[in-house]
Amino acid sequence: RQAAAAPDSRYKFKELAWGNDETHHIADGYDADMLLRWGDPITTDAPEFDVMNQTAAAQLKQFGYNNDYVGFWPLNDEGTRGVLCVNHEYTNEEVMFPGLGRQDNQDFAGMTPELIDIEMAAHGGTVVEIARGEDGKWALVRDSRLNRRITPLDTEMTFSGPAAGHDRMKTNADPDGMTVIGTVNNCAGGMTPWGTYLMAEENFHGYFWTDVLDAEGKPDLSAHLDAASLKRYGVPGLWYAWGRFHDRWNIDKEPNEPNRWGWIVEVDPMDPTATPVKHTALGRFRHEGAETTVSPDGRLVVYSGDDNRFDYLYKYVSTGTLSDDRAANSALLSDGTLYVARFDEDGSITWMPLVHGTGPLTAANGFVSQADVLIDTRLAADALGATPMDRPEDVQPRGDGTAYVMLTNNTRRKADQVNAANPRAESSFGHIIEIKEAGGDHAATSGTWSILVKCGDPSVAEVGAQWNPETSENGWFGSPDNCAFDADGRLWISTDQGGSWGKTGKSDGLYALETEGALRGHSQLFFRCPVGGELCGPYFTNNGETLFLAVQHPGTDGTKDLKGFERESVFEDPATRWPDFDPAMPPRPSVVVVTRKGGGKIAV
């Protein structure tokens, strides 16, 4: 397979050949260097990583697991120093801990309280200062006062907005419903225009436990007051054993605790003592991300997908407008209107407000106040008739009123459930929707939509893919997940095929996807992951010269197809030991920093 020469594209690089092997690959002319790996010490007093003797105390001062969202905020005009904000979405016991297989199908027999504390300390986020040296290479500034970990083990947070302090937010540990320890399953996120870091809480349901099971061994919610809500959110998911040792993760003991998760968290990376805030006005669902933009009249707009099969696309519009006052700007996340999208067959989109007292959102239907509407955002959106989507992942707005929505896949959609915006049954590879808001205004309540690409192999007719015909065998992809614009407004897509990468044979990677002109819908491969890795990030610095990528769970997803693992420990015999290739080290999720050889913008 020869790498094809790029056609007359706005992206000036020669595309990479597709494949799947034990290391990463980048297009010619670029460097892809490791910046931060799981276990790297991030403070001066942090111990060096010792994977065979890991402790929670050490992990609290080391880079966490499964890096996902990456954001950057420059600290000088040259853009050579800045603060890097990284989410740590989840943990994989089978590759973190020696001798342990996948725990969820083994009754969590190996999970001790000590290992669970390490898992909790490896979740959350990392905020660190980084700087670019004379040689053009980025490195951690280990003695920066800004460096901190945010975890569900020890980081106290507060709530803002209509659900803060509500009775349904109160627990034994927090009788005021105003304080929660930490955040989990932070997938994608966003940076606000004033330089704060938004962490989206995605699959929070997986962390909850119950000992009350039915005859089939499934959670029995019949005695629960909130059973309809729990069921709609998939709580408890029983993915982790935390609830065996911590009451707050056990819904039998703390029935309100799930209501305190599934929000957008705001962190001030400039103040290491600042208490993060869960902003309830942005709704509660499995937030994939929280990308922001500003309307022409100065209101903050935040787009967020609910990553679940047949769930919805949302956006939030602040009541007030942006100013130079950072504290006042944060208050924009407490007072505004949350909307859910209806995609009509004629190519129009309507944003329907989730406001208590309007339409069906009344006490008669179980919504006593705006707090109920927000805690049960999914139920409220059901009542409004929102359009069920093929798993909305990242949504990237551009300042001109355009937004791109990644719909990753939905193999459970039946032929009689397709609609114009989700046109394929049993969609294994997903698609991307382009939204044009009315008047180029992201705060508009209507607009139009179209499908930019339908993903998958265009040479296989039954896949039903739709690409620009110039797209090569290297350029097409499946399961779009995260995306970003570069400094010149060009779109880049990263993929997460999960265990189903076997359907394409391709590794996950980063693709440049043209949105304009004759090459609209043309895709080129720029970077690919080592086997089993999912690609997260991506994030371009404002000057366009640096691109941050996050390789998540290398050596896991799909290795069961490749080497017959599934319930075995991947730790002892992984499909790759990327990025260290040290026989004493398992593969490590890592942030990769991409620069152009000789300097300059990435794609010019």
Of residues 288 and 557, the one with the C-beta less far from ligand FEO = 288
Residue 202's binding partner out of ligand FEO, Ca ion, none, with CB under 5 to 8 Å set by partner kind: ligand FEO
Q: By rule CB under 6 A, what count of residues binds ligand FEO? A: 7
Residue 362: CB atoms within 10 Å:
14
The single residue among 40, 201, 202, 437 that binds ligand FEO, judged by CB under 6 A, is: 202
Interstrand relation of 156-160 and 277-279 (parallel, antiparallel or unpaired): parallel
CA 47 to mean position of chain CA atoms: 29
Contacts of ligand FEO in 393-432 (CB under 6 A): 393
Phi and psi at residue 531, to the nearest 5°? -55, 135
Q: Which helix (H) or strand (E) holds 341?
A: strand 336-343
Of residues 481 and 557, the one with the C-beta less far from Ca ion = 481
CB 521 within 8 A of CB 450: no
Interstrand relation of 480-485 and 446-454 (parallel, antiparallel or unpaired): unpaired
Site string for ligand FEO, 459-488 (x = CB under 6 A): ----------------------x-------
The helix/strand/coil state of 154 is: coil
Could you give the CA distance from residue 145 to residue 43 in angstroms, rounded to a whole number? 9
Contacts of ligand FEO in 377-396 (CB under 6 A): 393
As measured in angstroms, the least distance from the Cβ of 319 to ligand FEO is 29
Of residues 288 and 514, the one with the C-beta less far from ligand FEO = 288
DSSP letters, 193-258, are: TTS-EEEEE--GGGG-B-S-B-TTSSB--TT-TTHHHHHHHT-----SSHHHH-GGGBTTT-TTGG
Site string for ligand FEO, 60-79 (x = CB under 6 A): --------------------
Tell me which amino acid residue 245 is.
Answer: F
* H helix intervals, 435-558: none
CA 512 to mean position of chain CA atoms: 19
As measured in angstroms, the least distance from the Cβ of 197 to Ca ion is 13
As measured in angstroms, the least distance from the Cβ of 436 to ligand FEO is 24
Binding of Ca ion at residue 496 (CB under 5 A)?
A: yes
Phi and psi at residue 521, to the nearest 5°? 85, 10
The CA-CA-CA angle for residues 456, 234, 201, to 5°, reads 75
Q: Which two tokens stand for residue 310?
A: 């047949």
The single residue among 15, 40, 288, 376 that binds ligand FEO, judged by CB under 6 A, is: 288
Of residues 486 and 557, the one with the C-beta less far from ligand FEO = 557
As measured in angstroms, the least distance from the Cβ of 470 to ligand FEO is 30
The single residue among 11, 49, 87, 89 that binds ligand FEO, judged by CB under 6 A, is: 89
As measured in angstroms, the least distance from the Cβ of 539 to Ca ion is 7
Binding of ligand FEO at residue 557 (CB under 6 A)?
A: no
Of residues 183 and 250, the one with the C-beta less far from Ca ion = 183
Of residues 198 and 484, the one with the C-beta less far from Ca ion = 484
**Ramachandran category for residue 29: left, alpha or beta (phi over 0 → left; psi -120 to 50 → alpha):** left
Binding of Ca ion at residue 514 (CB under 5 A)?
A: no
Site string for Ca ion, 142-181 (x = CB under 5 A): ----------------------------------------
Contacts of Ca ion in 474-493 (CB under 5 A): 481, 484
Residue 198's binding partner out of ligand FEO, Ca ion, none, with CB under 5 to 8 Å set by partner kind: none
Residue 553's nearest CA partner among 479, 492, 496 is 496
Residue 381's binding partner out of ligand FEO, Ca ion, none, with CB under 5 to 8 Å set by partner kind: none
Handedness of CA 275, 284, 188, 515 (dihedral sign): negative
Contacts of Ca ion in 184-223 (CB under 5 A): 187
> Cβ-closest residue to Ca ion?
496
Of residues 332 and 493, the one with the C-beta less far from ligand FEO = 493
As measured in angstroms, the least distance from the Cβ of 568 to Ca ion is 24
Of residues 194 and 571, the one with the C-beta less far from Ca ion = 194
Of residues 341 and 361, the one with the C-beta less far from ligand FEO = 341
The single residue among 16, 36, 187, 352 that binds ligand FEO, judged by CB under 6 A, is: 187
CB 259 within 8 A of CB 283: no
DSSP one-letter code for 590 = E
Contacts of ligand FEO in 94-153 (CB under 6 A): none
Of residues 318 and 495, the one with the C-beta less far from ligand FEO = 495
Q: Which helix (H) or strand (E) holds 327?
A: helix 326-331
Rounded to whole angstroms, what are the CA distances from 537 to 443, 522, 567?
A: 26, 21, 29
As measured in angstroms, the least distance from the Cβ of 317 to Ca ion is 19
Of residues 276 and 478, the one with the C-beta less far from Ca ion = 478
Of residues 82 and 480, the one with the C-beta less far from ligand FEO = 480
Q: Which stretch binds Ca ion (CB under 5 A): 26-34, 239-247, 279-287, 494-502?
A: 494-502
Rounded to whole angstroms, what are the CA distances from 106 to 103, 272, 566?
A: 5, 39, 12
Contacts of Ca ion in 384-403 (CB under 5 A): 394
437 pairs with which residues across the strands? 447
Residue 555's nearest CA partner among 17, 18, 51, 20 is 20
Residue 394's binding partner out of Ca ion, ligand FEO, none, with CB under 5 to 8 Å set by partner kind: Ca ion
Could you give the CA distance from residue 1 to residue 17 in angstroms, rounded to a whole number? 7
Residue 89's binding partner out of Ca ion, ligand FEO, none, with CB under 5 to 8 Å set by partner kind: ligand FEO
As measured in angstroms, the least distance from the Cβ of 232 to ligand FEO is 18
Residue 346's nearest CA partner among 443, 448, 430, 255 is 448
Binding of ligand FEO at residue 307 (CB under 6 A)?
A: yes
Of residues 80 and 308, the one with the C-beta less far from Ca ion = 308
Contacts of Ca ion in 329-368 (CB under 5 A): none
CB 597 within 8 A of CB 561: no
Binding of Ca ion at residue 513 (CB under 5 A)?
A: no
DSSP letters, 526-576, are: EEEPPTT-EEEEEEE-TTSS-EEEEEESTT-TTHHHHHS-SSS-TTTS-S-
Q: By rule CB under 5 A, what count of residues binds Ca ion? A: 5
Contacts with ligand FEO by CB under 6 A lie at: 89, 187, 202, 288, 307, 393, 481
Residues in contact with Ca ion by CB under 5 A are 187, 394, 481, 484, 496
